[in-house]
Structure 1
């Protein structure tokens, strides 16, 4: 029995230490997501080519931030303002909105599993707080843009998404194409930026209309020159 407890303690220590060490290591190497690993393990295709954030179309960077996490440069990995808004909405009896930040999505993609789970959400938040300490904002976003699932056939990252949808690299996207890719992210299995329906076109148009007002604040923490 003592041996079992010893191994259990070692396993817990390993599970805690691994994300802490990997969070630092991923500042230096290009990581893969747990979903990519799962697809490889089950023999499913994975398409991903790593592109540095400075080589991506600026319109895509701004569009993803505006669509997914407009307060990315202000929050600490967890957006306490949006979290409070969600709690207030829930108290009012209205359906709760999500308050997931890009950093939280990054924590899930790097260390956790998909699907909806209170356990996963409970792990996601402290991991996001840690990643925000261990990684600069620019690196967080660069990794997210290179590992996010962006297509139904195992396309991961913005470059794979751009080539699948528009047959061009992520650095060559127009503002409209960038907006279409950004609003595809919440559901890449059902939304097709190559053949957008009225609903997806409307979402992209609304996003483009917001960008001139929000553009400078969105990228203030990234140090991008263009």
Structure 2
């Protein structure tokens, strides 16, 4: 009886299978990379952020070779307690209790915008950290989706104190001036640990548009906003309010 010939594998079919396996694995590998990225930054202070890099490259493309980033990290213990309090009072008063997204603020902003009033955002401090640290500028749904994913990771892997420390160090307080220490030295000639409550409120007041508003020489808008922020700081209970972060 004659034996049947052995079946040989189709090399093209095997190659296609390997390609499909890699295509299916790539999203999982990308998700794992973001988890490791966020986890590492719980313990490692970033030398720069995606926003800083994009701003520097933009200046060079425009031929502004003299433009430079001013950035000097300081741990939260070396920043005046009134600054993180001012940031919470100005940007995200539910920061200690939400999990990255303030749905009440989002709904309020939606109703406000639906009435045709001035467009109002509802980004939390956690979302702003995700955007400034990892992403590019823009309003596309893809970017917003990635921002949401990073926000979830940040809230899951970092304590609230680390989130606020990161924000105080990477927020832009002036054109090219990032973080509490750089702002304190640039605008007030002192270290971040020596900032007064009024100075902290002025820094928080310029955050909607730091390229337009000036914490050192505040105009009427910044003065009004900083006065309101100081009232909110007192209403929240002062620095004791931030003890919830521990």
Aligned partner of 2:4 in structure 1 is: none
CA change 1:91–1:218 in 2 (3 A) is farther
Question: Following superposition of structure 1 onto structure 2, how do residues 96-115 of structure 1 map, counting pairs within 5 Å?
Answer: 96-115=119-138
Aligned partner of 1:87 in structure 2 is: 110
Match of 2:35 among 8, 11, 20: 20
Task: Output the TM-score relative to the length of structure 1.
Answer: 0.87
Please state if 1:178 is matched with 2:200.
yes
2:54 touches 2:136 (CA, 8 Å); kept in 1? no
How many Å separate the matches in 1 of 2:55 and 2:114? 39
Q: Which has the higher contact order (CA 8 A, sep 6+)?
A: 1
Aligned partner of 2:234 in structure 1 is: 212
Number of aligned residue pairs: 222
1:73 touches 1:220 (CA, 8 Å); kept in 2? no
Question: Following superposition of structure 1 onto structure 2, how do residues 49-128 of structure 1 map, counting pairs within 5 Å?
Answer: 49-92=72-115, 94-128=117-151
The alpha-carbon deviation at position 60 of structure 1 amounts to 1.0
The alpha-carbon deviation at position 203 of structure 1 amounts to 0.9
Consecutive unaligned residues in structure 1, runs of 5 or more: none
Consecutive unaligned residues in structure 2, runs of 5 or more: 1-14
Task: Output the TM-score relative to the length of structure 2.
Answer: 0.80
Cα RMSD, aligned residues only? 2.4
Instruction: From the CA coordinates, give the structure whose radius of gyration is larger.
Output: 2
The alpha-carbon deviation at position 163 of structure 1 amounts to 0.9
